[in-house]
Amino acid sequence: MIKARSITKSYGGIDVLRGVSIDVEPGTIHGFVGPNGAGKSTFLKTLIGVVHRDGGRLEVGGFDPAKSVVDVRRRVGYAPSETALYHRMRAGELLEFSLCHHLEADLPRGRKLLGIFGVPLDRRVGALSHGMKRKLLIAQAIASATPLMVLDEPMEALDPEARRRVEDLLRAEADGGRTIFFSSHDLASTQRLCSRVTFLHRGSVLRDGPMEDLLRGHAGVLLLEFRDPVAEADLPTDPSFEWEGSGDSARLVYRGTLESVLPRIDGLPIKSIRDDATDLEHLFDRLYLEDGGVAQ
């Protein structure tokens, strides 16, 4: 659905995108993560032709946004990160205006989604909270009924219940065959939703792959509590082990499988053990710290 090869973009001599290459397969939910300033929003805007790339090849739904921007936009339901919308319009009016550009749009569904989200149709957009504006953008992207949805920070400013509802909606859309490509700082939602993730840093792809493969190749973590204090010197040593703490409790960072680790710590007076399974946030922190960046 999206095929990008060596995409570049600079502003005033500053490279924002430096050879970004990515594939987004049809019917998948693909996450796009990275620190602030990594170039995520710029890349998403190149997909819909708002930003014109300096170099590289790009296809969105089979069309080049630089040459066939109308064809691309008709096939993309886009929710930008910015919520500076038409403030004098009412929410229902903005929804209708946004959907009129999409041939298969479902306006009744859009209105229903606003009702589910608690966004009043007759309230002016300028009077909506930041979170309600975000819900309005998500509703119009879903109701566009386009084969591809491009969402920039869709979970921003959403309360936990709204975030759960949006996750359920996005899963249902993907199950129905739509492709969803979104950037987010909400790494928990990204991990729950995405089958593939691309990490961007300083305008370049730092890591890309299926979610399961990325997490499988990363270190595991066990949190241990002991019945009796354990001295640091008595903790099992192994080239794949990194211990933090001693005494009544310790944290073990390990490489390899959990099954291979448990026999090697069996001799410790373990009172409880918790698998602090490696998640996307741990991977995010390690990737960017190892690369010399600051995770934000």
CATH superfamily for domain 2-208: P-loop containing nucleotide triphosphate hydrolases (3.40.50.300)
Task: Compute the radius of gyration of the chain from its Cα atoms.
Answer: 23
Note down pLDDT in tens along the chain; length 296 residues.
Answer: 999 999 999 999 999 999 999 999 999 999 999 999 999 999 999 999 999 999 999 999 999 999 999 999 999 999 999 877 789 999 999 999 999 989 999 999 999 999 999 999 999 999 999 999 999 999 999 999 999 999 999 999 999 999 999 999 999 999 999 999 999 988 989 999 999 999 999 999 999 999 988 877 667 789 999 999 999 999 999 998 999 999 999 999 887 777 888 999 999 999 999 887 657 887 888 788 765 554 44
Intervals of CATH 3.30.70 along the chain: 219-277
Cα 167 off chain centre by: 11
Class of domain 219-277: alpha beta
Q: According to the model, what pLDDT value does residue 296 have?
A: 40
Intervals of CATH 3.40.50.300 along the chain: 2-208
Q: According to the model, what pLDDT value does residue 277 have?
A: 60
**Residue found under tokens 């390990």:** 254
